[in-house]
Amino acid sequence: MSVLNFSFFTMDVFRNYILGGIYFSVILTAVATLGGIVFGTILALMRLSGKKVLEVPATIYVNGMRSIPLLMVLLWFFLLVPMLIGRPIGAELSAVITFIAFEAAYFSEIMRAGIQSIPRGQVFAGQAVGMTYGQNMKLVILPQAFRNMLPILLTQTIILFQDTSLVYIITAHDMLHGFSTAGGNLNSTRESYILAAVFYFVICFTLSWLVKQLQKKIAIIR
């Protein structure tokens, strides 16, 4: 067995192969998080509306998405949607749409729990001063729910960043794809995957530490 050699990993290799992949992974994480929270909040409100016409389809969507592996959803969208619309849509766009649609189901459950964690007295207080349901949610309930759920939302975002490595399977140029391409072109495949694992670990460990610090600050405020 040959000795590992990481000398191939130079600043030029980082700029030419890895940097673009990191950029896409970060952008995908940010866009999917923002889109997932927006649509997830809508789904959560639909499930809590008490109206079957809204609650049932939202429940089916959330439970359905949470029952299918992300990799399968990614492949279905990437392979089947172009067949239905008659033209390719690209690996990067497929990844963005799939991640938003998939993560919305998970963020929906987080937001639903956050909304339900707010004491009912807050709702009654808003109603007592003449607020409509929408005003109550916008001005009273959702701001508190977001604050309560912020550490969990950020933790889910870290998991989302890890999941971006799955877009490698549809040849999107993410961080893992960048390391893989560099290793393949420079005959250092094993070393490139080891370095990719190190990069993922350092990034996610750092973000996890920051979330823990945020949790401590929120606990002190409470």
CATH number, domain of 167, equals 1.10.3720.10
The three-state DSSP-derived secondary structure of the chain is CCCCCCCCCCHHHHHHHHHHHHHHHHHHHHHHHHHHHHHHHHHHHHHHCCCHHHHHHHHHHHHHHHCCCHHHHHHHHHHHHHHHHCCCCCHHHHHHHHHHHHHHHHHHHHHHHHHHCCCHHHHHHHHHCCCCHHHHHHHHHHHHHHHHHHHHHHHHHHHHHHHHHHHHHHCCCCHHHHHHHHHHHCCCHHHHHHHHHHHHHHHHHHHHHHHHHHHHHHHHHC
* Residue that wins the pLDDT comparison between 76 and 129: 76
Instruction: Indicate the pTM of the whole model.
Output: 0.88
1 lies in some domain: no
Q: What is the pLDDT of residue 116?
A: 84
CA pair distance 35, 104, nearest whole angstrom: 7
The answer to whether residue 92 is domain-embedded is yes
- Measured between alpha carbons, how far is 175 from 17 in angstroms, rounded to an integer? 9
Instruction: In whole angstroms, give the CA distance from residue 60 to residue 54.
Output: 10
CB 189 within 8 A of CB 17: no
pLDDT of res. 222: 54
Q: How many domains does the chain fold into?
A: 1
Residue 199 in any domain: the answer is yes
Range of 198's domain? Answer: 11-221
Q: Is residue 180 part of a domain?
A: yes
Predicted confidence band of residue 135 (pLDDT cuts 50, 70, 90): confident
Q: Tell me the per-residue pLDDT of 100-110, one tens digit each, with 9 for 90 and over.
A: 999 999 999 99
Return the pLDDT at 139: 80
Q: How high is the pLDDT of residue 165?
A: 93
Residue 6 domain flag? no
Give the whole-angstrom CA distance, residue 75 versus residue 89: 13
pLDDT class of 124 with cuts at 50, 70, 90:
confident
Write out pLDDT tens, residues 30-88. 999 999 999 999 999 999 888 899 999 999 999 999 999 999 999 988 988 888 888 88
Q: According to the model, what pLDDT value does residue 1 have?
A: 53
In a domain, 60, yes or no: yes
pLDDT tens sequence across 149-203: 888 899 999 999 999 999 999 989 999 999 999 998 988 889 999 999 999 999 9
Q: Classify residue 4: in a domain, yes or no.
A: no
Mean pLDDT in residue range 116-144: 77
**pLDDT of residue 129 exceeding 90:** no
- Look at residue 196 and tell me if it is in a domain: yes
Cα 217 to Cα 26, 94, 207, 209, 212, distances in angstroms: 26, 38, 15, 13, 9
